Structure 1
Amino acid sequence: MNRRIFLSVGLGLMASTALPFAAIAQTPVTWWYESANPEQQRAITQGIIDPFNASQSDYQLTIDYRGSELDKQMRVALLSGNGPDIVYSAGPSYVAPMARAGQLMPLDDYAKQFGWQDRILPVFLEMGKYEGKLYALPKTYETLGLFYNKTLFKEHGWEVPTTIAELEAVSDAMLAENIVPFASGNANWRPANEHYVSLVLNSIAGPDNVYKALKGEMPWTAEPFVKAITKLNDWWQKGYFGPNYFSLSDEQAFAQMASGQAGMMPTGTWQFQRINTYFPQNNAEAGFVGFPSADDIGDPVYALGVGSTFSIAADANNPDGAAAAINYIFSDDAYAKMNELWQGEWNMPIADLASIEVKNVQPLYTDTMKGLATSVANNHYGYTTWTFLPPATDAFLVNGI
């Protein structure tokens, strides 16, 4: 969504290709995607589009990049029945309204045909269901935490915070040095607002209380949640988020952290894609840890999230081709290639990674993903708002915070 960046990109219409002197006509499969820079577009072409098209002779997959307006354009297109075959969304909270409106095709038959139940981790298949039917597959699973400029910390003798008190102490020290504590900005993606809500709900109110509230066993006005949102507001009022939150994109904010203008960045694992772009040119080293927790919570909580989903439009011109393309995206070959070319955005929840070799991966990214996988396996994780909240509530967090 960058979940953590979530920009809109799309797949455009593509005419059938008639090969000279051949009776083969491949049926187009259209896919709209969010924003992607030229390097990222090449990654998708090399890792998905070209290999899928070469793997079979029935379908021709094309992609149309729609930028940050993808969500709005997708809603209009689906209402008129003129959307793409593959529907790409920012997460489960975006899928539910489309499924409820009858704009998405149930994927249960395709799941049986392609064996998705065995290939994809069960918890993530459950996240793609609405009223008992499967409507979406998750593109990537992610978590929130704290990126920081390790070089800057060493220069100032700062310890990496593990508690809320330590986080506030180092943030105050940064303010004293005219360094922005939290690199942040929502200029390109307003739902960045809810990233911080997810962090304080899990790290201050605690995942057990969030779970109770999601089940209706505790009101959202209960003391733990009031405490969490009050703390978030305190950080804003103290200037932890800096003076330019509404004018900076998340990428610009990340660049500020790499340059030392900001010290830390509370955000999601989708930002790993930016480390090699910004840190080496500043002769700096990046770090990442779980977001500090309140004393009564204990260890850092890895809030579990689904960053983007794949569905098939109910009015798709080529649903079988769309399903075949989605199936390829969840193949071992696509996983290995995309995680080599574009780390942090294509961590598909494939159940068995033992036989998949991914090259040129940052050790920091590998260690983080291992930590997240362990947390999920031990049933010790938190809840991101864009994955677990109902759509209307999630929309309020985006627009009302």
Structure 2
Amino acid sequence: MDRRTFLAGGLGASLVPLMGRFAFAAGKPVTWWYESATPEQQQAIADVLIGGFNAAHPDYSLTIDYRGSEFDKQMRVALLSGTGPDVVYTAGPSYVAPMARAGQLLALDDYAETFGWNKRILPVFLEMGKYDGKLYALPKTYETLGIFFNQTFFDKNGWKAPTTIAELEALADEALKAKLVPFAAGNANWRPANEHYVTIALNSIAGPDNVYKALTGELPWTAEPFVAAISKLNDWWQKGYFGPDYFSLTDEQAFALMANGKAATMPSGTWQFQRIPTYFPPVNSECGFVGFPSADGIGEPVYALGVGSTLSIAAVSQIPDGAAAAIDYVFSPEFYSKMNSVWQGEWNTPLVDLSAVQISNEVPALYAETMKTLADAVADNHYGYTSWTFLPPATDSQLVNGIEEVWLGRSTVADFLAQLDATFQQEKADGKVPAVPAR
């Protein structure tokens, strides 16, 4: 797909506030619980999602209820008690399997046929939303990991984006000498940020083929490729690549360090694109993004595939057709165009055909280029696996907690991987591993 087609046309004039216009919609209520969102993000949801859907579907009235940091807990409690919203929003596929297994979600296969989702959504994502052969979830957004950096700062210092692990480490060592943080990072606001770096190491050093084998039970997590990957990650931590303030910085503060030239790079996910307009214009700089370098023998950068959140329908919903219509609206080119024009990195729905998508010219070209690169990697079967998407819940929790023990010298790499493997094998036996599409 040509990027100029993708970016053609500005949508600013069409994104007028719609809340007042549809505040008194008389259609049947469709409820949706959401996590946290800034006032600007809530306005985007009000304008583009609520307003757009209610205008196109006058028989329904969509409402969004923001639940904040207690969202996941409240959703689990509600589903267990047979209450909650019509549209079930989760933090990723690993949450879907237990809910589907417990009978809390409605199978979506009939809706997929009715609305044409099987033709409109990339097949790999439909597979990821399945449990026991049935479709239970669609991805609200798909994402990947790579390296953000200040391109202007790099040019000024004569630096180039690293393309190999050796180049990455040389850049990190040079940054240390210059008293800069090599890898801007922090988990003060989100402890699972730990798994971003484990995911990078597993895919870029052990390689996606080995990760796939482990996910499908062909290879234990204690195998040598994973020992090498986690050992390398631990080496980076011990050398100080992650800086002295990892546990006290939020990811937004870390992004600011990188944008302001106080950190050389920021290994993170594409959700950070939403921060570029806030932090780069004030310092008159241009942001860069590249795939994380891969170890020798793996080839090009591996774009680990992640699903940041999913959409399902509650089994007890009294208006499942309305919930399905709301989900369908999210997977329309119209919605993609308007939402990604005002909010990048959180609504990158996996549409097969983006030819009808038009993004505002005010959106950095880097965003569209990165999303196209990710889409091409998926289409070419050259992608990796994010832990929060493909690991079952307890295994993922073990990974997040356990890597800190390694970094702080309280556990060994071998012990970390042994515990990870033991937890995974138990969850695999219990049928809790999310669907893993064949390579």
TM-score, length basis structure 2: 0.84
Q: Which residue of 2 aligns with 1:135?
A: 136
Q: Which amino acid aligns with 2:62?
A: L
- Rounded to whole Å, the distance in 1 between the matches of 2:386 and 2:132 is 21
- Rounded to whole Å, the distance in 1 between the matches of 2:48 and 2:282 is 27
1:189-231 per-residue CA deviation (whole Å, 9 max, x = no partner) reads 2221111111000100011111111221111111110010011
Q: Which residue of 2 aligns with 1:370?
A: 372
Helix, strand or coil: the match of 1:191? helix
Q: Contact 2:87/2:311 (CA < 8 Å) preserved in 1?
A: yes
Q: Contact 1:18/1:25 (CA < 8 Å) preserved in 2?
A: no
Structure 1 residue 153 displacement after superposition: 1.6
Helix, strand or coil: the match of 1:29? strand
Q: Which residue of 2 aligns with 1:106?
A: 107
Alpha-carbon spacing, 1:53–1:18, altered in 2? closer, same or farther (3 Å)? closer
Runs of 4+ in 1 over 4 A off after TM superposition: none
Q: Contact 1:18/1:26 (CA < 8 Å) preserved in 2?
A: no
- Rounded to whole Å, the distance in 1 between the matches of 2:344 and 2:317 is 30
Helix, strand or coil: the match of 1:118? helix
Q: Which residue of 2 aligns with 1:339?
A: 340
Query: Does the alignment pair 1:210 with 2:208?
Result: no
- Rounded to whole Å, the distance in 1 between the matches of 2:89 and 2:223 is 35
Helix, strand or coil: the match of 1:140? strand
Q: Which residue of 1 aligns with 2:11?
A: none
Q: Which amino acid aligns with 2:168?
A: L
Query: Does the alignment pair 1:247 with 2:248?
Result: yes
Q: Contact 1:68/1:189 (CA < 8 Å) preserved in 2?
A: no
Q: Which residue of 2 aligns with 1:6?
A: none
Q: Which residue of 2 aligns with 1:386?
A: 388
Q: Which amino acid aligns with 1:28?
A: P
Query: Does the alignment pair 1:223 with 2:260?
Result: no
Structure 2: any 5+ residue segments left out of the alignment? Answer: 1-21, 404-439
Q: Which amino acid aligns with 1:206?
A: G
Q: Which amino acid aligns with 1:52?
A: F
Equivalent residue runs for 1:88-167 within 5 Å: 88-167=89-168
Q: Report sequence identity in percent.
A: 73
Q: Contact 1:118/1:351 (CA < 8 Å) preserved in 2?
A: yes
Structure 1 residue 391 displacement after superposition: 2.6
Q: Contact 2:147/2:290 (CA < 8 Å) preserved in 1?
A: yes
Equivalent residue runs for 1:21-40 within 5 Å: 25-40=26-41
- Rounded to whole Å, the distance in 1 between the matches of 2:318 and 2:186 is 38
Equivalent residue runs for 1:179-190 within 5 Å: 179-190=180-191
Q: Which amino acid aligns with 1:270?
A: W
- Rounded to whole Å, the distance in 2 between the matches of 1:77 and 1:242 is 40
Q: Which residue of 2 aligns with 1:57?
A: 58
Alpha-carbon spacing, 1:280–1:25, altered in 2? closer, same or farther (3 Å)? closer
- Rounded to whole Å, the distance in 2 between the matches of 1:351 and 1:82 is 34
- Rounded to whole Å, the distance in 1 between the matches of 2:210 and 2:231 is 16
- Rounded to whole Å, the distance in 1 between the matches of 2:299 and 2:100 is 38
Q: Contact 2:148/2:265 (CA < 8 Å) preserved in 1?
A: yes
Structure 1 residue 26 displacement after superposition: 1.9
TM-score, length basis structure 1: 0.91
Q: Contact 1:68/1:188 (CA < 8 Å) preserved in 2?
A: no
Structure 1 residue 367 displacement after superposition: 1.2
- Rounded to whole Å, the distance in 2 between the matches of 1:72 and 1:190 is 16
- Rounded to whole Å, the distance in 1 between the matches of 2:307 and 2:221 is 22
Q: Which residue of 2 aligns with 1:14?
A: none
- Rounded to whole Å, the distance in 2 between the matches of 1:189 and 1:70 is 14
Alpha-carbon spacing, 1:18–1:40, altered in 2? closer, same or farther (3 Å)? closer
Helix, strand or coil: the match of 1:159? coil
1:126-158 per-residue CA deviation (whole Å, 9 max, x = no partner) reads 100011111100011111111111122222222
Q: Which residue of 1 aligns with 2:299?
A: 298
- Rounded to whole Å, the distance in 1 between the matches of 2:124 and 2:101 is 21
1:158-210 per-residue CA deviation (whole Å, 9 max, x = no partner) reads 22111111111111111112211111111222221111111000100011111
Q: Which residue of 2 aligns with 1:348?
A: 349
Structure 1 residue 267 displacement after superposition: 0.8
Structure 1 residue 18 displacement after superposition: 11
- Rounded to whole Å, the distance in 1 between the matches of 2:23 and 2:202 is 55
- Rounded to whole Å, the distance in 2 between the matches of 1:180 and 1:72 is 35
Deviates more, 1:163-172 or 1:383-392: 383-392
Helix, strand or coil: the match of 2:32? strand
Deviates more, 1:295-304 or 1:220-229: 295-304
Q: Which residue of 2 aligns with 1:313?
A: 314
Deviates more, 1:305-314 or 1:387-396: 387-396
Aligned-residue CA RMSD (Å): 1.6
Deviates more, 1:267-276 or 1:184-193: 184-193
Helix, strand or coil: the match of 1:39? helix
